[in-house]
Amino acid sequence: MLNQNDKNAPVRVGIIGLGTVGQGFLRLLLKNREILRERLGFPLTLGGVCEKNPVTLKGLSLPPDCVTYRDWEEMVRDPRISLVVELVGGLDPARTLILEAMKVGKSVVTANKALLAKHGEEIFGSAAAHGVDLGFEASVGGGIPILRTLRESLAGDRIVRLAGIINGTANYILTRMSREGLEFETVLAEAQRQGYAESDPTFDIDGIDSAHKIAILAAMAFGSPVTLEEIPVEGIRHIKPIDLEFGKEFGYVLKLLGIAADHGDSLDIRVHPSFLPEHSLLAEVDGVFNAIELSGQALGPLLLFGRGAGGDPTATAVMGDVMECARGIYHASRAQVPALGFPFSGRIKKALRPLSAIYSEYYLRFMAQDQPGTLSYLAGVLGDRGISIESVIQKGRDRGGSVPVVVTTHRATESQVREALGIIDASVHVTEKTVVIRIEDVSMEGSLS
Ligand code: HSE
C-alpha cells in the first residue's frame, strides 16, 4: 500500500469514468473540499481524471492542477495518484484496471456491482494479497450505507435474513403499474422517455442488477462466497396489471425483492417479484427509492431506506470509502476491518438451497374453464400435494372460455407447487399457464433453521 511520506502533501485521488456517478463524486470533492479537510485533518484533492468521451470532458470545469489522462494505464501508473476511483462500470476494462492499480499498491474505490458479483473473489483476493483497501459501498443501494452497517455496526451480531428493494427502475415500474393499472410495456416506454429507465433496461427489469446486489449483501452478511450463477432470478417483464389488482384485493403489494437468509448449513438467496402485506414497511417503499430490511439475531429488525441511484446520492457512498482509504494512505495503515467484514481466507462456503426447496405462501391465478367441477378439481390437485388453500377469489364470467380463479395458499415448498401446477396446466380445466407469485413472509424471523 502506498504511504503518504510528505505529511504536508494532499492525498491525490484519480477518477476513471465521469458518467453520472463520476460527475456527482467530482462535484462533491470540489464543493466539500473544506469540510473534507476538516474531517480528515489533511487535504484530499483531485489529482486527475480519465474519461473516454471528449464531449463529457469538455463540459466539466476541472481545477487547473487536475491532470487529464488519455488512458487508465497512464493514471494507474502515475505515482502522484495515491488512490483510484473506478466508475467506468461493466466488466472490462474495469476488472483489469482495478487489478493493475492494486498490483502497484493503490487502494481502489468502486461502485461496480456487476464486476464484484462476477469477479469478486478475484478482486477481494487481490486486495488482500497486495495489502490495499477496496471500498465498494456505492455498489449496493446507491447512497444507502448498508455495507458499512453490515461490516461495522452489526459486526457483533449474527445476521439471519435480508430482504431488499434494490432496483429503483423496477420499483418505479411496479409502482406505476399498480397505481395506474398500466401494462408493463407502457410504463417501461414512458420511463425510458423520462430517463428513469436505461435504453437497454435488461439488467434492471430482469432482476440481474438486483442479483448482483443481493450476492454482495449475502457475501457480507453471512461470510460465505456467493456465486452469481447459483442465484435463482426472475424479473418483472411478465407481470400483468390483473395480478396487481387481485393482489390488492388480498391486501398485497407487489415488489421485486432480493432475499437472502441463513439457514445455518445452507443459504437461501433469490430475486423475484413478491407480494408483501400492504402495511409492511417494504410495501410502502414506492417509485425509484430503495430499502433494505434485515434481521439480526440480537438486534431484531432494521430498515434502511433512501435513494438507490443518482449521481449525488451515490457520490456520498463513494466519498465515504475514499475518505477511509485516504486515512489509511495518510497514516500508513490499512483499514482495520476487512473489506467483506470477514478475513478473506477465513470464509466458509455455504451451499445455496435450490428454489425447489424454498418454503413460501403462494398466489396462483388459474385461467379456469367456467364449468361445474373446475374449482373442486383445482382444490383437489393442490390438496393431494399437501398444499392448503388460504383463500379463493373468482370474478366475472367467461372471458373467451375461461375465468380467472385466484387462490392464495398456506406455506408449501416450491416443488409441491410446481408438481401440482404441472398437472393442472396440462389438464383441460385451464386455458393458460398458471401465474405463480410468491407471498413473502415479512415477519423477519426466518432464520438459521
Ligand atoms: N440501475 C439501478 C436501479 C441503479 O435502477 O436501481 C444503479 O444500481
Neighbouring CB atoms inside 10 A of 189's CB total 12
Q: How far is the CA of 227 from the centre of ligand 1 (A)?
A: 20
* pLDDT(446) > 70: no
Q: For ligand 1, atom 7, name the residue with the nearest CA.
A: 309
R_g of the chain computed on alpha carbons:
24
pLDDT at 195: 87
pLDDT at 361: 97
- Rama region for 394: left / alpha / beta (φ>0; ψ in -120 to 50; rest): beta
Report domain extents, the chain.
11-142+311-346, 148-307, 355-439
Fold of 148-307: Dihydrodipicolinate Reductase; domain 2 (3.30.360)
Q: For ligand 1, atom 8, name the residue with the nearest CA.
A: 309
Reported confidence tier of residue 447, pLDDT bands at 50, 70, 90: very low
Question: Cβ(443)–Cβ(261) under 8 Å?
Answer: no
Residue whose entry in the numeric block shows the C-alpha cell 372471458:
399
Residue type, 84: V
Q: Is 213 a catalytic residue?
A: yes
Compute the average pLDDT of residues 56-69: 94
Identify the H or E element spanning 220.
helix 208-222
Considering the four listed CATH numbers 3.30.70.260, 3.40.190.10, 1.10.3720.10, 3.40.50.1970, the one that applies to the domain covering 355-439 is 3.30.70.260
Mean of the per-residue pLDDT values of the chain:
94
| pTM for this prediction | 0.95
Reported confidence tier of residue 441, pLDDT bands at 50, 70, 90: confident
pLDDT at 321: 98
Residues framing ligand 1 (Cβ under 6 A): 167-169, 204, 209, 308-309
Catalytic annotation, pick one of 213, 349, 350, 433: 213
pLDDT digits (tens, 9 = 90+) for 254-310: 999 999 999 999 999 999 999 999 999 999 999 999 999 999 999 999 999 999 999
pLDDT at 337: 84
Q: For ligand 1, atom 4, name the residue with the nearest CA.
A: 309
Q: How far is the CA of 305 from the centre of ligand 1 (A)?
A: 15
* pLDDT(180) > 50: yes
With the most atoms of ligand 1 within 8 angstroms of its CB, the residue from 204, 292, 307 to mutate is 204
Reported confidence tier of residue 196, pLDDT bands at 50, 70, 90: confident
For 82, phi and psi rounded to 5 degrees?
-95, -20
Compute the average pLDDT of residues 212-229: 96
With the most atoms of ligand 1 within 8 angstroms of its CB, the residue from 167, 217, 286, 290 to mutate is 167
Parallel, antiparallel, or unpaired: how do β-strands 289-296 and 351-352 relate? unpaired
Query: Which atom of ligand 1 lies closest to the CA of 172?
Result: 5
Burial grade of 12 (CB within 10 A; 0-12, 13-18, 19 or more): buried
Class level of CATH domain 11-142+311-346: alpha beta
Q: Which 3-state string (H, E, C) describes 59-101?
A: CCCCCCCCEEECCHHHHHHCCCCCEEEECCCCCCCHHHHHHHH
Neighbouring CB atoms inside 10 A of 249's CB total 11
